[in-house]
Structure formats: structure tokens, C-alpha cells
């Protein structure tokens, strides 16, 4: 593949699920995939339970901050993954849209966030297997 595939993770607040997914994809795929995340109504800060749950497995997302979803971010992505939030994403031809129905970690403690984190990891691993051919 001559170009690096780009993935945009979208949830309403861009504070939990999409940040964890972006953290996993960056960590597991490195520079083989361009990773972005955004929200339609970004929170002021990233979810502290999501930060703690990711830190437990050695992935630091504490420096991330919620970002606003823009049509340009969608249009320049190869894959747009929404996360069970019914977001109204702008639709562009040539962009692959998927919805991952995931429980919202907002307001939950780290014990409740761990299973969400683990589900996101397994989905991200499958996504990497699909987007990045194993030609190492």
C-alpha cells in the first residue's frame, strides 16, 4: 500500500471511547496508520477513568484533549468509526463508515471502564489486521 490509511474515531464528547480507540491504534499500529479522533460536542477534558484504564496497560493518553469534529477531518479519512452515539457525520463518497456500539464510559469508574477498554482493543486489533497487510 503506497499511502498510509487514515482512521477517524468519533463520539459525542471525544473524551472516552474515541480517545481510547485512538490510543490503541497509535500504540499498536505505530506509523502504519494515521490516527485521529473528534467529537460533535467535545467535553472540556478527557475522561479520567479512561486515562487511568489505559495507563494500567501502558498506554498514556493523558496528553490528549477533546477535539471538535470537522467535515474536513471526515473527508480526509479512509475509515470513520462512530461509537454508539448516533452522531450525524457528514457523508463523503469514498469514505468507509462503521459504527461500533460501545457503552459510554462517561461518569463511570475505572472498574466499569476496563471492559469497554478491552472491547475497544479487540476491535482495533481487527481493524489493524484489515487495514495493514501483514507483509513484514
Residues taking part in catalysis: 11, 85, 89
Cross-sheet strand order for the sheet of 6-10: 34-38, 6-10, 79-82, 96-99
**Residues 103, 27: Cα–Cα separation, whole Å:** 22
Closest CA to 105 of 40, 48, 29, 30: 48
Phi, psi of 66 (to 5 degrees): -60, 140
**Residues 53, 94: Cα–Cα separation, whole Å:** 34
Closest CA to 123 of 62, 69, 81: 81
Amino acid at each position: 500500500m503506497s499511502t498510509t490509511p487514515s482512521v477517524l474515531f468519533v463520539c459525542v464528547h471525544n473524551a472516552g471511547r474515541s480517545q481510547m480507540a485512538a490510543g490503541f491504534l497509535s500504540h499498536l499500529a505505530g506509523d502504519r496508520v494515521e490516527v485521529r479522533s473528534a467529537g460533535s460536542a467535545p467535553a472540556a477534558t478527557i475522561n479520567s477513568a479512561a486515562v487511568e484504564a489505559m495507563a494500567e496497560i501502558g498506554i498514556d493518553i493523558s496528553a490528549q484533549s477533546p477535539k471538535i469534529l470537522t467535515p474536513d477531518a471526515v473527508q480526509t479519512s479512509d475509515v470513520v468509526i462512530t461509537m454508539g452515539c448516533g452522531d450525524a457525520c457528514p457523508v463523503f463518497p469514498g469514505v468507509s463508515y462503521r459504527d461500533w456500539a460501545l457503552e459510554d464510559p462517561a461518569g463511570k469508574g475505572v472498574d466499569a471502564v476496563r471492559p469497554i477498554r478491552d472491547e475497544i482493543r479487540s476491535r482495533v486489533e481487527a481493524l489493524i489486521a484489515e487495514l495493514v497487510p501483514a507483509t513484514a
